[in-house]
Amino acid sequence: MSLALITVVGGLFLFFAAIQGRLHGSVLTAPLLFSVFGVAIYFSGLAHGHFELEWLHIVAEITLVLVLFADAARIDLNAMRNYHNLSLRMLLLGMPLIMIAGTVVAYLVFPGLSWWELALIAAILAPTDAALGQAVILDKGIPGRIRQTLNVESGLNDGMALPAVLLFATLASDVTHTDRSWVEFIALQLVLGPIVGGLVGWIGAKTITWAVEKGGLVESGEGIAVLALALLSYAGAETVGGNGFISAFVAGAVFRHNLKTDCAFLFGFMETEGEFFMLATFFGVGLILIPQYLPFIDGMVILYAVLSLTVVRMIPISISLLGTGLLPPTHLFLGWFGPRGLASVVFSLLVLDEFEIASMDLIMAVVVTAVSLSIVAHGLSAVPFARAYGKMVAAMPDCEEKNAVPSVSLRSGPVTDAEVTN
């Protein structure tokens, strides 16, 4: 890698760090900036021959492992059951409906693909990414219940979508599978991953609790412990034939449930090391994925990407919220802010690397287009839409949106009880 390229990339990260505080409340999101940085460096010619798809795959995988572990470790399951009914509806009812709708719409747009390939596209694009609409989650003018709903949904839906992605990718693969072989593969992925993740999470929680009680764990080691547990859960599952991402997600949930001490260090860790990897991933999207799959993008690909970001999500989400008493604008608001980002990128790279699928170039083009459009559309709309929606709800005397819910820590720090109750 040339010194000039290292200087430019290092300078970009330093520039972002210096202006990050001024970007809060603006339409310029971090994913948007770093994707544009990546595209600009590609067309400048500086990066030719230095960055390959394998590099992006590694960075994106590490990022998703950390995000899955940390997001699962943030969620209080008791609070989820008792207070976050909107998130549960969107996850348990809305998400399957999104996959079904995405498959049907994909059939209308790409009739030449097999049903498994169509379902795979829908599953890859089902999970959302809070980072692309961060201004919405941080806007205190929006009721805390609505912000928490989007936060919890985006934190859990990537882990829930992964089994469907693996299943559809296996069935869509060109490699001939006997009934036993693909069932055995899926079973190993879905059973061994959770087992390893559960063991790593339980052992990690007991170890860290013991270390804190004995005074052996210092503040500087907390981030190291989190990174080690996340990577151990991933590597351990992959070693025995399970799925590392599912393992990391389960490990985070079990870790949180069994940890008998404060786990606030998780959130500080994700604000530093985790954010660095996230920015590097979006940089790679602009530098590698967009240029590589640009030749495969046509009008039908763009049409499906637009539909995926709008009706494919918004109608199922609205259906899942029927009977909750929420205002119609809230249905639209929660439906629109389902940006596609990190999980969709990693899932597509995972499928590209591990499966032989005839229409993989088209699938990658659809994912790249949807993520690129989402980076722009959700990034630019987050601030104005959040302000308009917040003013509308504030003018309502009493409504379901204003009901108080317990705080769930966000990727940009915890929301205080005062903020949540509005």
Would you say residue 407 has pLDDT above 70?
no
Tell me the per-residue pLDDT of 177-187, one tens digit each, with 9 for 90 and over: 555 566 776 77
* Among 3-7, 293-297, 358-362, the least confident range: 3-7
List phi, psi (to 5°) of 121. -60, -45
CB atoms within 10 A of CB 89: 20
Neighbouring-strand partners of residue 413: 410
pTM, two decimal places: 0.85
**DSSP labels for 57-85?**
HHHHHHHHHHHHHHHHHH--HHHHHHH-H
* Statement: residue 150 has pLDDT above 50: yes
Give the structural domain span for 170. Answer: 3-421
Average per-residue pLDDT for the chain: 83
H-state helical runs in 214-310 = 219-239, 244-258, 265-269, 275-284, 290-293, 299-309
Structure confidence by residue, pLDDT tens digits, 197-246? 999 999 998 888 888 777 777 666 677 787 889 999 999 998 988 888 88
Q: Which two tokens stand for residue 126?
A: 């089902």
| pLDDT for 414 | 42
pLDDT of residue 420: 42
| Mean pLDDT score, 363-388 | 92
Residue-level pLDDT at 415? 42
* CATH code assigned at 111: 1.20.1530.20
The predicted-structure confidence for 152-186, as pLDDT tens digits, reads as follows 888 788 878 888 998 899 889 866 555 556 677 67
365 has pLDDT over 70: yes
C-alpha to C-alpha distances, 74 to 146, 249, 257, 276, 279, nearest whole angstrom: 17, 11, 10, 19, 21
- Domain total for the chain? 1
Contacts (Cβ under 8 Å, ≥6 apart) of 165? 120, 123, 124, 347, 350, 351
In the prediction, which pLDDT does 406 show?
62
**Alpha carbon of 232 to those of 124, 199, 313: distances in Å?**
25, 10, 34
pLDDT-derived band at 80, boundaries 50, 70, 90 = low
Mean pLDDT value of segment 366-374: 95
pLDDT at 405: 67
Span 99-148, pLDDT tens digits: 999 999 999 999 999 999 999 999 999 999 877 777 787 778 888 888 88
Residue 143 neighbours by CB under 8 Å, 6+ apart: 393, 401, 402, 422
Per-residue pLDDT averaged across 317-324, rounded?
A: 93
Q: Phi first, then psi: what are they for 112, rounded to 5°?
A: -80, -10
